[in-house]
Amino acid sequence: MKKLDLLEIRGQLDSIDREIVELFEKRMRLSGEVAEFKIETGKPVYDKERKHKKLTP
């Protein structure tokens, strides 16, 4: 396997970082839509059961 030089490694890291930021921004937009839906339909914004399910393996 070829060893990558520092610039190649950093380039890959930068690419991954851009993807992470894109996905995080998308997640934040969708989370906002969920909150708006819950507010409009009178549901509580905080869902303790869902949080527990998401944080428990």
**What letter represents residue 1's amino acid?**
M
Tokens 């934040």 locate to 28
Integer Cα distance of 24 and 46 in angstroms: 20
- Across the range 36-43, mean pLDDT stands at 96
Q: What is the pLDDT of residue 29?
A: 98
Residue-wise pLDDT for 2-31, tens only, equals 777 999 999 999 999 999 999 999 999 999
Q: What is the pLDDT of residue 2?
A: 72
Q: What is the pLDDT of residue 1?
A: 60
Q: Kindly state the helix (H) or strand (E) to which residue 51 belongs, with its residue range.
A: helix 48-55
